Structure 1
């Protein structure tokens, strides 16, 4: 597994596995404690695993947590997603930078999203499964949602948005959401 720093967002990383492919399909290691530790992260800090399944065109996000925030490892385990990370840490040298990634079930690449960064994605396939490994138990009182189409973010979503949650429909503007962090 190779680890790459994401130049546009301080502390963000890509974990690129080397899937073993044959006529049956593939086998891929998606988490390796030693690799995570060598990348400067505490593998024991991750306390919760979750998965979401989305239909093509669905947007989930942009989500961030207030307080201490939440770091997470994000991977598309099936299908494909257009993944977005935005640095919202005012003290960061990459504050307000945005990076996008094509995550697929074929490449099994994992993005490490540091605490204080907003994250979201759009499903490009029917369906798309996204797996999350999170470093803090979820507290709904800390949830902050930013409008996916806020012009201050200028995210180039590749497909028309087909569905989103009520939470995301009611999300705050970028300017208002950042006052809640």
Structure 2
């Protein structure tokens, strides 16, 4: 297993060992002590989620304010362009974003620490995404960063994605700051 840094502190790309042969493949998608050691995880996962989406669907940019979630994410089928935005106010990369293509073929995982907004757009005909979270989903605590916030200038590979009514209500980073709706997650160097 290889763990690769990204431009955003704490966000890691994980390349698990994939054992493939003529029958298919096997991989260990999570092992607590190994991930704690390699990622510095101190939280436990308390919830697992899966999504199925078709081409062009954009989900995000979501986060929780009072109960920020860390997420360990991977694509089981298809391909996505995954984006995280650093919303940790004391981070040296505050308001910066990172975009990473993930696919079921590569089996690469992404660790997103608490305090970042997260979203993705589907690049394949369909995609299945699975992720584990370090805190429970709380509907009243959720916030949504506008996917096309001009202040962030995220370079999405699809210009006219399919977006839910809820995600169309996302706010710009400036509006979230003014409303004091950024996540309460500290940056830890």
TM-score clears 0.5: yes
* 2:5 corresponds to: 5
Tell me, in whole angstroms, the C-alpha distance in 2 between the residues paired with 1:22 and 1:31.
21
Separation in 1 of the partners of 2:102 and 2:158?
15
Q: Tell me, in whole angstroms, the C-alpha distance in 1 between the residues paired with 2:173 and 2:160.
A: 19
Contact 2:67/2:141 (CA < 8 Å) preserved in 1? no
Determine helix, strand or coil for the equivalent of 2:117.
Answer: strand
Partner of 2:111: 112
Unpaired runs of 5+ in structure 1? none
Structure 1 residue 169: Cα displacement: 1.2
Counting matched residue pairs gives 179
Determine the C-alpha separation between the residues in 2 that align with 1:18 and 1:106.
13
Quote the Cα distance in structure 2 between the aligned partners of 1:173 and 1:3: 32
Matches of 1:46 and 1:98 in 2, distance apart?
24
What pairs up with 1:16-165 in 2 under 5 angstroms?
A: 16-39=15-38, 40-42=40-42, 45-165=44-164
Tell me the TM-score normalised to structure 2 length: 0.89
Residue segments in structure 2 that go unaligned for 5+ positions in a row: 183-189
TM-score (norm 1): 0.93
Greater Cα offset, 79-88 or 32-41: 32-41
- Displaced runs of 4+ in structure 1, greater than 4 A? none
Contact kept in structure 1, 2:8 and 2:98, CA below 8 Å: yes
